[in-house]
Amino acid sequence: MSTETGFALLGGHPCFLTSQDIHLGVNESSTDTARVLSGLCDIVLARVYSHSTLEELEKEASIPIINGLSDLYHPIQILADFLTLQEHYGKLDGLTVSWIGDGNNVLHSFMMTAAKLGVHLRIATPKGYEPEDSVVQEAQRLSKQHGTQLVLTSDPMEAATGSDVLVTDTWVSMGQEEEKKKRLRDFHGYQITEKTGSVANPDWTFLHCLPRKPEEVDDQVFYSPRSLVFPEAENRKWTIMGLMVSLLADYTPQTKMPRF
């Protein structure tokens, strides 16, 4: 919805292809799909499972490819999150964000972005659910380069201490449904509550990219004035519009002569 309504507001014509409409990499190779779409569209936002699929699309396409979501990163969500915090606090530099939950694609994008904006990042994940080693190494390099703090722990209260923003996400991502019972056991104690926020800064706020489950954050926090989740959801529209305008401004489509 954020992409379709946003692109329509810009005067574009959005086309939504579900898994029933396009069997990416199955019925047709990602290479062929990228080349075909390059002749039909001006820009593509792709939500995929494997990040390598995005890399193949980007390599073979002659039009901009946006990572709408992959198993490794979710960058457009982070644009919306930081816009939301900028609106609320009036700044980003010097803020401390605490992630409490799974070491997933959203966290990876936080780790690739926070230091560049002067944001300190504190991360609590259960043992066995840590972020990817390669992402940790790059985040540590960025933190050192930009002079920010990066803390990794398995203790939610340690991560929340002195924080401005508490963030979590689903504990069971797409493709992990069979692991649900085990994950719920392993994430016991990671629910964000007022108790979690008791060690944060007095004006702490809460983010969640949705959809939310009560085990991740209780109603008292989720529906409280501290919660920025609904402005955060709306901001996906405005940030994706800005991203598409930026990419299309640098892209000159090839002129095609009509065929009869």
* For residue 211, cis peptide bond before it (omega within 30 degrees of 0): yes
Furthest CA-CA distance within the chain:
70
Q: What HEC string does 13-62 produce?
A: CCCCCCCCCCCECCCECHHHHHHHHHHHCCCEEEECCCHHHHHHHHHHCC
Under a CB-based contact definition with an 8 Å cutoff, are residues 84 and 231 in contact?
yes
Contact criterion met (CB below 8 Å) for 4 and 14: yes
Using alpha carbons, select from 90, 88, 150 the residue that is nearest to residue 114. Answer: 150
Best CA proximity match to 161, nearest among 129, 126, 132, 120: 120
The answer to whether 209 is a known catalytic residue is: yes
Choose the catalytic residue: 44, 209, 241, 244: 209
Question: Rounded CA gap, 238 and 253, in Å?
Answer: 24
Catalytic machinery residues: 209
